[in-house]
Chains A and B, each alone.
Chain A
Amino acid sequence: MLRVHNLRKTFGSVVALDHVSISFPSRGCFAVIGPNGSGKTTLLNVLTGFVRADAGRCTYRNINLNRLLPHKIARKGIARTFQEVRLVRHVSCLDNLLLARRAELGKTVFRAIFSFTAENERAGKFEASTLLHSVGLGEKASELAGELSYGEQKLLSLLCVQIARPEVALFDEPFSGLHPMMIAIVEEQLKKLSDGGCLVGFIEHDMGAVSRLADHVIVMSNGKVLAEGATGPTLSRSDVLEAYIG
């Protein structure tokens, strides 16, 4: 379903992606791991259209993603989070979620202005607050997103992906900086997503989370794919261990 073929991307003299070809699994959960600077975030950015590759192809269900603008790619059902938590901090958590709903009638300018009804707003607010309650953020619904703690903000950005009911959900370091209780909640949400049929992918350094969640792992190093395969065997390969430690 989701494929990249021979991707190349350089930033100045840095080769971020060096002939990367991957056939992502069609469901379940996969992780992209590798030392810092190995090209993981660039891969995610190219897939979601925020960075344009110098060469190579990205396809989703045989549709070429290369020339598409990022919002169009998002419309196809590919949702993502950012490494640095990106939210609209001056509006409420509820508004952030409403913004992210894909069923939300606000996607195109025309519908955003003309087809909004009180009923749809209510349905959206209900869905959003239910989601917030399910992770214990129910009381914070009307608080400004910027006033949440770091962990809560990360959780909120994850919920924004969830509410979009994506077909593919890509997370950039969803566990970084979180304390164990939060990690457990995030894991639970990712599992819910993937159980619901969505293809979940995440970039991570936390090997515990990777082994618990991911069925499939892709190891990158220096802009290349070093190894790929089922989590258990791949993680114990000597070259993978060396890339991380050696």
Chain B
Amino acid sequence: MSNQLIADGILAGSIYVLIAVGFALAYRVSHFFNFTHGFVFTLGAYQAYLIHALVDSPLLECIGALVVGTFAALLISEILSKPLLRRRASPLVSMLASLGIYVVGQNLVAIVFGDRSLTIHGPAVESGVDIFGARLTIVQLFIIGSSWLVAFAVMFSIWITRIGAQIRALDNDRALAEIVGIPVTKVAAFGVAIGGALAGLAGFFTALDLDMAPNMGMAALLIGIAAAIAGGRRRLALVSLAALSIGIAQSASIFFVPAAWQESIAFIVLLLALTFQSRANFLTAPRADA
């Protein structure tokens, strides 16, 4: 019984890892918490619905999620980040602007597709596999496997590749990175694109496993925020760990608390993370003279 819960937790956690890593990556290159990440997540799910209506090809849907995610993120970044950067807006102002765009996006989806939830998998029960007493369908195993594969690929690239190093430099000190010749705009765009692809993929996987609704992005944002902050916003490995933990904790919490409180786990993680993290990591450097 408990093994099934753990398995469910790992499934949820794997999708959370995609969300959180994408969110944290986007944060690293733009230095504000971008709410539109939740909208890209939602688009990843709804594009699959469109494709599914035309042709039954999970492969196309998957590719679509990556493509739509990437382009949506880049397009939004064009609209949003350029003017914000120009007026050197604070992280707070940028975040609120992104919230506004998220609200517009979520409601556009609701107008086009309706408020009720939609599904893309058929009614037939899928074949499954038994692992240590827990039952997971082939699709679910695929989701878990690909999520981790993609997440590791991204983390590894940040660590090893040249552009990964450029992203790290950009995160560390944007002005300095520019001075030493790093094409910061392009590198930032790359980071945003990868983040968007991850968000889109996560949205697709969520729709594949469960269903989709216009407000699904909110829940994704909650997870992304909690995991990113718990993981220290920068170390993608820690962020992944936090995301996985949230997934497992949510599932396993049935033992300890009534089911109604499951969603609160993410919030509790966020509170604990903030309570135990030192302020020194968060405050911006002392202001320069006007």
Contact = CB atoms under 8 A, between A and B. Distances in A.
B287 interface: yes
B286 interface: yes
A71 interface: no
Contacts of A89: 290
A178 B141 CA distance: 69
Nearest to B289: A84
A86 B287 contact: yes
B257 interface: no
A86 B288 CA distance: 9
Nearest to A52: B280
Contacts of B290: 89, 146
Contacts of A86: 287
Nearest to B288: A84
Interface in B253-290: 286-290
B286 A150 contact: no
Interface residues of A, number: 8
Contacts of A99: none
Contacts of B289: 84-85, 150
Nearest to B286: A84
Interface in A159-184: none
A60 interface: no
A85 B288 CA distance: 9
Contacts of A146: 290
How many B residues are at the interface, by size bracket?
under 10
A24 interface: no
A150 B288 CA distance: 12
B12 to A, nearest CB: 38
Contacts of A85: 289
Interface string A81-112: 01111100100000000000000000000000
A89 B286 CA distance: 15
A138 B70 CA distance: 58
Nearest to B290: A146
A88 to B, nearest CB: 12
A20 to B, nearest CB: 21
A165 B12 CA distance: 60
Contacts of B288: 84
Interface string A61-97: 0000000000000000000001111100100000000
A231 to B, nearest CB: 30
A84 B288 CA distance: 7
Contacts of B287: 84, 86
Contacts of B286: 82-84
A82 B286 CA distance: 10
Nearest to A177: B289
A19 to B, nearest CB: 23
B290 to A, nearest CB: 6
**Most B-side CB within 10 Å, residue of A83, A84, A146:** A84
A60 B286 CA distance: 27
A205 B288 CA distance: 20
A150 B290 CA distance: 9
A84 B286 CA distance: 8
B93 to A, nearest CB: 15
A84 B290 CA distance: 10
B288 to A, nearest CB: 7
Interface string A141-163: 00000100010000000000000
B287 to A, nearest CB: 6
Contacts of A84: 286-289
A166 to B, nearest CB: 22
B277 to A, nearest CB: 16
A214 B144 CA distance: 70
Nearest to A147: B290
Contacts of A82: 286
A85 B290 CA distance: 9
Nearest to B287: A84
Interface of B: 286-290
Interface of A: 82-86, 89, 146, 150
11 contacts: A82-B286, A83-B286, A84-B286, A84-B287, A84-B288, A84-B289, A85-B289, A86-B287, A89-B290, A146-B290, A150-B289
Given A83-B286, A86-B287, A89-B290, 8 more contacts: A82-B286, A84-B286, A84-B287, A84-B288, A84-B289, A85-B289, A146-B290, A150-B289
What are the 7 closest A-B residue pairs judged by CB atoms, nearest first?
A: A84-B286, A84-B289, A84-B287, A85-B289, A146-B290, A84-B288, A150-B289
